[in-house]
Homo-oligomer: A and B are copies of this chain.
Amino acid sequence: MLSPGRSGLFDGLFGRGEVAVGDDDWLQAMLDTEAALARALESAGLVPAGTGAAVTDAARASEFDVAELGSQAVLTGNPVPALVRALTERVPAEARQAVHRGATSQDIIDTAMMLLARGAIEVIVTDLAAAADRTAALAEQHAGTVMAGRTLLQQAVPVTFGLVAAGWLMSIDDARADLGRVRAGLAVQFGGAAGTLASLDEAGPAVVALLAAELGLAEPVLAWHTDRLRIIQLSAALAGACAVLGKVARDVTLLAQTEVAEVAEGSGEARRGGSSAMPHKRNPVASVVILGCTKRAPGLLATLATAAEQELQRAAGGWHAEWETLADLLRLTGSAASWAVELLSSLRIDAVRMRTNLDAARGLPMAENVAAMLAPTLGPVAAHDLVSGAAGEAARQGIALPDALLADESAAAALAMAGVGRVELESATRPENYLGASATFVQRALTAHRRHADGQPGRSPAHDR
């Protein structure tokens, strides 16, 4: 389950899944860029036939010494010049002119970054789709499972777990639509030293187009060496995915609390969720680790947004600050998404406990409904205040809301005036009678999810018009 090539102490937690942004991945992406450039140059007729294949042949990361490249990078502030030397040595003499021709270091690193981002997004979008499907199943299955809605961590009015899941679903689907949009904008970088491609004379733009085609990346209007809006858009979409997953995980940790116990992480692995000290512990590991990933996204996003103030034709530091930061953001988003698939695939829902917790509030969450019955007679504000008083009394005495209302002289009078008796009161304080459009909203979310699966992501309800 670890990322390819990742086997560190924390990689199972923060590097889970298939996102590949390790040193070997960087190196291969840079080599893929150099190879594609050689092929593009050949297609453009700028280098002899066969040179593209020769460079491509030599461009295998496993043949290069990462440590040596890393150590040479201190001379120039990035690893590309050393890589170009090493690659040149590995190609036949006649193909050397095709190596890095027209390019500057930033062309190679930026394009490699786009390739890494594309690969990561594919992984993340796949995981988000799986998470969304599982969430849709939860929403459908629990469209009628009544539970307490909670605002500011207090019981509010009843909802269904299906509606809660529908909310998660919409946000996951939106996040992957965003990533899809961003992916389409990932563009090749190729401008030469200062964006003019001067060393290719007038052939530059043609090579840009060919290079983009070789790599399957978008062709930009101009080199974007110091126009980093793409990086911000990419980072924001990743941070958005993290925010969405963090919200789901936060909800799970809250609903899984010992005293709430409405959901539980369901993995059956031995020792899963255990503590080094406490034998009884069954910690919600997936949720906790998701939060451990997602809480880091905003800081990384801020770094990338800050770094975007880049000077003239190549930034002194701002560009360099992006490399590891973006890789971390890709890795952490990927890890959170991978954990989310597990979390949502094995989440156990305790519908009985949901109802028990709601019933323990003895009608209070339906106070709004009672107030509405009194509003036509008393006016909304007075009705609100009267029911509020009775609700306070009910809480203090531990009695049911209808009893508190009927025991209060002025409330009783108002109820009588409004023609509301005990039967009506008890009906009004039954949770299943106060779910509003929950079921409709769940259906709307499921419909939107199906449209999304059909390639029509959207955030408005599909009206049958």
Contacts and interface: CB of A to CB of B under 8 A. Distances in A.
A163 interface: yes
A83 to B, nearest CB: 9
A110 interface: no
Given A195-B441, A196-B158, A312-B254, A324 B10 contact: yes
A254 B170 contact: no
User: Chain A contact residues (Cβ within 8 angstroms of B): what range?
Assistant: 35 or more
B367 A198 contact: no
Interface stretch (A114-122, A129-137, A244-252, A414-422): A244-252
B229 A152 contact: no
A235 to B, nearest CB: 8
A274 B76 contact: yes
A371 interface: yes
Contacts of A257: 150, 153-154, 257, 259-260
Nearest to A24: B9
A287 to B, nearest CB: 7
Given A296-B321, A364-B280, A436-B200, A316 B153 contact: yes
Contacts of A251: 311-312
Contacts of A44: none
A373 to B, nearest CB: 10
A288 interface: yes
Contacts of A372: 199
Interface in A155-184: 155-159, 163-164, 166-167, 170-171, 174-175, 178
Interface in A427-448: 434-438, 440-441, 444-445, 448
A88 to B, nearest CB: 6
A175 B230 CA distance: 10
Contacts of A294: 309, 317
A140 interface: no
B371 A279 contact: yes
Interface stretch (A35-43, A300-308, A343-351): A300-308
Interface in A243-286: 243-244, 246-247, 249-251, 253-260, 269-285
Contacts of A200: 436-437
A31 interface: no
A54 interface: no
A455 to B, nearest CB: 17
A297 to B, nearest CB: 7
Given A154-B282, A243-B228, A276 B80 contact: yes
Contacts of A371: 279
Nearest to A65: B7
A288 to B, nearest CB: 5
A199 B66 contact: no
Contacts of A14: 324
A201 interface: yes
A337 interface: no
A75 interface: yes
A436 B204 contact: yes
Contact of A150 (B1, B308, B312): B312
Nearest to A342: B74
A127 interface: no
Nearest to A274: B76
Given A196-B149, A309-B246, A285 B76 contact: yes
11 contacts: A76-B276, A84-B276, A96-B379, A149-B195, A151-B194, A154-B282, A246-B308, A257-B259, A279-B367, A292-B319, A295-B307
Given A151-B278, A152-B284, A153-B258, 15 more contacts: A13-B77, A75-B270, A76-B273, A150-B313, A150-B314, A154-B258, A187-B460, A200-B436, A221-B441, A222-B441, A242-B305, A246-B317, A259-B259, A280-B394, A324-B328
